[in-house]
Amino acid sequence: MSYHEKEDHPAVDRIRATLELESFTSGTCCVNKNSLSLYYRSNQTDKKADVLNLAHATPDELESLISAFAALPSGRGSQAGKDESYHKPLELDVAQFSIPFDLSETGILNKIQHDLVDTRDTLRSSIRTELCKLEIYDKGSLSKAQEVTPTDTTMFGSLVIILPIMHEGGNLLLFEGVEQWDFDAPSILQKSTPDAPSIAWVAFHSNVSHEVLPITSGVRVTLTFNLYLKDIDNAKETILSSDANMKFAALTDSLEELVDAHDDEHLFAFGLAHLYPIVKDQAGYRIQELKQHLKGNDALVFAACRELGLDVSVKVWYPEYEDSGYLSAEVCKVPSGSELLERPVLYERMYRIDEDVPTTWVTPDTRNTTARTQYVDYEHSNVVSGLYGSVCIIACRRLPASAWRRNRQDFYRY
């Protein structure tokens, strides 16, 4: 069976249905109008900041805000000088503005915790936020499709707050695979009033691509927060939702049925649902440290495997042919002093997966987190070649080392 074919077992279908990812969550809430006072200064040497209240900002006040930053080199984003083919929003970093808006008073984080974070493995985790930027979209402004690159392994997504300034256009489109969602904040904000303002918000995972459609009238002002999971040792305990407990129980039951239907030598592979940065230091890429920072459904899968007593770890999958490939405990490294080499040399410390090693891809190889190794290929006229792998979760029953014909001790010692 090809490694990317789905096994015809009902438990696989149930597991995939259980793990259907909540890619985003959204809503609206009322806020105190005093929390929407924006203080800003375009020149850091200015002693006095300008201020406007975004609950009832006038066109002249908004024009003054736009004029203050439009002439700055960084005003239209760090890539402004590289691509002038479209009208970018103005972007203010946190040193250029201040706003007393307090997320903790809105209940937004509770909903994000419930919808995007809660799993059995995050029982003592909570969310840490970091205000990233303020963006101003005037008429014609848009943002092309992009994904958010996590700044570290604990970052799992972004939160965008659309402030109550009337505008048309500027819908936020979210994409994942063939799925698309249209977040129509202008319609949601129509009920907001100067005395009782409300905001619209959407939070999404880092691997969700997003774009903002052109503004046709008015001004769109947003706050963007990076979302992180707090370190478990330092986080206050949070109560796990009943939905998350039911999801974990359903996953564990189906996975146990699937494991029991196969021989002890069988491997179970899970493509990662989330995007993770692969950290490199003097010792190389720290793949095994990712298990401490798994998010959402990835954490749920890892916890379910442990609950069933399976030997579970994070590995790099290097596909070779349709029905074979290699698993490695680390990102492949070119041997020191090897200027020229043949590709098989790179596979020497890996575990070969073929028809002799039965494997089920319980969830597809998503390639959300990938690794690339460059080397000079001796077999092909000394050309620079690349070896590409994707990070995944691998589980199997606990077996004595003698049950494995090929390097089990080496495979699981990391």
Q: Kindly report, residue by residue over 284-333, the tens digit of the pLDDT.
A: 557 777 888 888 788 889 999 999 999 999 998 888 776 777 888 777 77
178 plus 53 within the same structural domain:
yes
**Is residue 407 pLDDT above 50, yes or no?**
no
225 plus 244 within the same structural domain:
no
73 plus 186 within the same structural domain:
yes
278 vs 78, residue with greater confidence: 278
225 plus 243 within the same structural domain:
no
Q: Kindly report, residue by residue over 83-95, the tens digit of the pLDDT.
A: 566 788 999 999 8
250 plus 225 within the same structural domain:
no
160 plus 281 within the same structural domain:
no
The DSSP annotation for 74-136 comes to TTT-TTTTT--SS-PPEEEETTSEE----GGGTTHHHHHIIIII--GGGTT--EEEEEEEEEE
Residue 343, token pair as written in the block? 């590709």
Query: Which residues have CB under 8 Å from 286's CB, separation 6+?
Result: 278, 279, 280
Q: Kindly report, residue by residue over 233-274, the tens digit of the pLDDT.
A: 544 444 445 566 778 889 999 999 999 999 887 899 999 988
Last residue of a domain, one of 191, 208, 229: 229
Q: Kindly report, residue by residue over 218-235, the tens digit of the pLDDT.
A: 999 999 999 998 755 544
Q: Are 71 and 125 in contact (CB under 8 A)?
A: no
Strands 267-271 and 359-363: parallel
Q: Kindly report, residue by residue over 322-334, the tens digit of the pLDDT.
A: 677 788 877 777 6
Quote the CA–CA distance of 343 and 37 in Å, as a whole number: 60
What's the domain range around 344? 10-20+239-412
253 plus 355 within the same structural domain:
yes
Quote the CA–CA distance of 294 and 116 in Å, as a whole number: 13
pLDDT at 339: 55
107 vs 176, residue with greater confidence: 107
Is residue 149 included in any domain, yes or no? yes
387 plus 280 within the same structural domain:
yes
Residue 296, token pair as written in the block? 């959402």
Quote the CA–CA distance of 225 and 89 in Å, as a whole number: 17
How many domains would you assign to the chain?
A: 2
CA 380 to chain CA centroid, nearest Å: 37
Strand ranges, E, within 230-345: 267-271, 280-281, 284-285, 311-321, 324-328
Model confidence pTM above 0.75: no
254 plus 212 within the same structural domain:
no
Three-class DSSP category at 257: helix
pLDDT at 120: 52
What mean pLDDT is predicted for residues 53-68? 93
Q: DSSP H helical segments within 221-368, as ranges?
A: 242-260, 296-307, 343-346
**Is residue 81 pLDDT above 50, yes or no?**
no
Q: Kindly report, residue by residue over 205-214, the tens digit of the pLDDT.
A: 888 899 999 9
pLDDT at 114: 80
Where residue 51 sits, what CATH number does that domain have? 2.60.120
Q: Which of 301, 288, 290 is nearest to 362 (CA)?
A: 301
Distances (CA, A) of 218 to 58, 96, 138: 11, 23, 7
261 plus 145 within the same structural domain:
no
Q: Where do we find the tokens 């809105």?
A: 106
Q: Which of 210, 201, 231, 229 is nearest to 111 (CA)?
A: 201
284 plus 396 within the same structural domain:
yes
Is residue 265 included in any domain, yes or no? yes
**Is residue 282 pLDDT above 90, yes or no?**
no
Q: Kindly report, residue by residue over 118-167, the tens digit of the pLDDT.
A: 655 444 568 899 999 999 999 999 999 888 888 777 888 999 999 999 99
3-state helix/strand/coil string of 377-405: EHHHCCEEEEEEEEEEEEEECCCCHHHCC
Last residue of a domain, one of 229, 251, 272: 229
Q: Which of 29, 28, 31, 33 is nearest to 56 (CA)?
A: 33
Is residue 47 included in any domain, yes or no? yes
Q: Where do we find the tokens 């109560």?
A: 239
Confidence of residue 369 (pLDDT cuts 50, 70, 90): confident
Q: What is the mean pLDDT of the chain?
A: 80
For the chain, report the end-to-end CA distance as a whole number of angstroms: 29
pLDDT at 125: 66
Distances (CA, A) of 308 to 131, 301, 328, 396: 40, 11, 23, 10
pLDDT at 69: 86
Last residue of a domain, one of 178, 209, 229: 229
